[in-house]
Structure 1
Amino acid sequence: MTQQLEDLLGQAGPILFYAAVWGLVFAGTALFVGIVLPFLTGDSLLFAAGIVAGLLPDRISIWILAVGVGIAAVLGDQVGFVLGRHLGRPYLTRRKGRWTRVAVAKTERFYQLFGWWSVVIGRYIPWGRVFVPPVAGIGGMAYWRFLTANAVGAVSWGVLITVIGYFAASTPAVRPISYAVAGVVILASIVAGIRAWVLERRRRDSAESTPESPEESAI
């Protein structure tokens, strides 16, 4: 496998590898690609890229890769925030689809509940990393306040998961720990997304089953 990766990088070059990973991370939030391709723009991508860097340390620098991922994540979120701030809610409502509408409504409640921390926490949740930035922009969050939260969440997420992948491939002694940590992070993000979806379904079912009051029926 290592030889095949070396042959591929010999043809494409490390620069194209960096650009592909950074571009996917950026597009995941800036262009909403994360809605349809969450596994190609999120945790799985970073972990796999880290493994490639660990297998080919002479060709791929883990620190260039990881820092670049963090920067790409920050820039992608900033684009989403600016678009949400200047284009408003119509920017999101134009994106049709029941799942998107539910995700936007869920993200708005998530943002109202956690504020600054929603931007940090949202980076580790598949739907959160896509929708929190524009929702924060629509909600009028101060630019520098969003930037600080974005930097903490995006950089920690990008560097952490990429470096874990690197150690999983390059250091046999810590490989089991790296796989365990990566598995926990990825599983936690998936569980968080499923849990939020289940809670939203319960809330909606409860609202639909609640009988109207006499006053509401008379209107």
Structure 2
Amino acid sequence: MEIIQFFMNLLSDPRGAIAGWIVALGPFWVYSPLFLIVFVETGLVFFPFLPGDSLLFAAGVFSADGGGLNIWATLFIFYAAAILGNTSNYWIARFFGSRIIDSGKVKALTPERMAKLDHFFAKYGGLTIIITRFMPFFRTFAPFIAGTGHMNFAKFTLFNVIGGVSWVTSFVLVGYFFGGISFVQEHFEVIVLGIVAVSVAPAIIGAIKAAMNSRKKKKEQA
């Protein structure tokens, strides 16, 4: 129950979590939970619900002058976590992908999401790794699906690096440059929820479209 509460608190208040780590861990070790959370979200297919986008944004806010984090350290720690996480996910899938899928233990890895990612890979190729970086859930599953046979490792690594750097830079620098604005400070929780909503929106829209197309096909066949 404590671990569930930890994740709930992190999802709802990443700013409070980072502030607590700065006090408890100090200016050096504070980067360890930041690295770990992004690495686990991108590197282990069992944890797609971790708050990558909002954590990057909040860390960017704390990387401004006097916030307790250093902007360059924040960027490079997250670059490493994002790139190494995807790489880990790829190789887990390469060795154990079929067994994990067949076991049915990853409930979030639904046939619908797998079909959607298959479509992404067929349509966009390696760009799928970059596109899905900005889509919660899909960014966790895309490297896993790539590792099951959609892409060789050299090509995957190229798009992994581009996607990881783009994703981290975008969210951290938005927090860094705009986090000090009084409106952002006063409505931080709402803005974090907005970031999550915008990130999840493409997946929700895609699911609605898929459901509508499926219903349409059933009517046509009836």
1:126–1:144 CA distance, 2 compared to 1 (3 A):
same
1:19 to 23, 32, 51: 32
Where do residues 1-219 of structure 1 align in structure 2 (5 Å cutoff)? 9-35=22-48, 37-38=49-50, 40=51, 42-54=52-64, 56-57=66-67, 59-96=68-105, 99-101=108-110, 102-170=112-180, 172=181, 187-211=197-221
CA distance in 2, matches of 1:143, 1:132: 13
CA distance in 2, matches of 1:197, 1:8: 37
1:63–1:95 CA distance, 2 compared to 1 (3 A):
farther
1:199–1:93 CA distance, 2 compared to 1 (3 A):
farther
Larger Cα Rg: Structure 1 or Structure 2?
1
Shift of 1:56: 3.1
CA distance in 1, matches of 2:198, 2:19: 33
Q: What is the identity percentage for the equivalent residue pairs of Structure 1 and Structure 2?
A: 25
Moved more, 137-146 or 85-94: 85-94
Shift of 1:140: 3.8
Given residue 30 of structure 2, which amino acid in structure 1 is its aligned partner?
A: F
Normalized against structure 1, the TM-score is what?
Answer: 0.78
Shift of 1:27: 0.2
CA distance in 1, matches of 2:214, 2:141: 20
Normalized against structure 2, the TM-score is what?
Answer: 0.77
RMSD over aligned Cα, in angstroms?
A: 3.2
Any idea what the Cα deviations from partners look like across 1:63-107, whole Å, max 9, x if unmatched?
Answer: 111111011101111111112222233323434466521222221
1:86–1:109 CA distance, 2 compared to 1 (3 A):
same
Contact 1:46 1:162 in 2 (8 A): yes
Any idea what the Cα deviations from partners look like across 1:131-184, whole Å, max 9, x if unmatched?
Answer: 1101111134111100000000111101221121111234x59x79xx9x9998
Given residue 129 of structure 1, which amino acid in structure 2 is its aligned partner?
A: R
Any idea what the Cα deviations from partners look like across 1:14-36, whole Å, max 9, x if unmatched?
Answer: 2332111111000002123542x
CA distance in 2, matches of 1:204, 1:98: 21
Contact 2:90 2:147 in 1 (8 A): yes
Given residue 9 of structure 1, which amino acid in structure 2 is its aligned partner?
A: I
**Aligned-partner SS, 1:204:** helix
Moved more, 107-116 or 81-90: 81-90
1:10–1:126 CA distance, 2 compared to 1 (3 A):
closer
Unmatched tracts of structure 2, length 5 or more:
1-14
